[in-house]
Structure 1
């Protein structure tokens, strides 16, 4: 993803140029309903690879990197596994994503599910499962004592 600043009138407007994560061709910005009739907002799509990524609500800023269907499914599974950890309020969301960065050996700014590739998603799912077993095991041991 690269940023280009264009001077329009007397103020600068940031235009995001998004390239496909697979073929590196420029992705096209379309209305989400063109691909998913019930969805709102925008998404970037690579028609060559059939990869796409949605945008943050009310913006044209991508949520992460373009992904194929199998990677989007893995990312969804990662969210289902990881989100309850920080939503439980036992740890913060920031602490959870610091753990993700450590597990995947990534810089903090890259430790977002929307930026993960297939192997990173698979590794995160295994690590999250192990963490839950450890956590629940500690809880059960603590309850018995």
Structure 2
């Protein structure tokens, strides 16, 4: 059985909800990633901010990325998967919630992320096609 732990990219980074989008963008640039889970002051994961969120919810509206917080534009509520969850269950959750990136936790602690590129590297083209058809479906 292939698990989330087998597929994930280890060492996921986060951004604080009160950190600015400028901080988030710089962090993404330095890490060469397109999203960051957002943590509340108590350490709980509360959302996800993407490079697209920064552009659409801040820059395009003329807001100041140096004054706008990650928490104010992040997607509310975050879906995570346990590290030992079967990859088919992970794919099902990603399809259900139409997300392209999934934080992986172990005992509530963030230990990795699963992205589309991680899936492509590990799964058959048929499984990828099935995943993509659900994540990219038009409502």
- Is the pair's TM-score, using the shorter chain for normalization, greater than 0.5? no
Specify which structure has the bigger relative contact order, considering alpha-carbon pairs within 8 angstroms and separated by 6 or more residues: 2
Q: Shorter-normalised TM-score: what interval?
A: under 0.3
More helix as a share of residues: 1
TM-score of the aligned structures, taking structure 1 as reference length = 0.26
More strand as a share of residues: 2
Name which one, 1 or 2, has greater alpha-carbon Rg. Answer: 1
TM-score of the aligned structures, taking structure 2 as reference length = 0.26
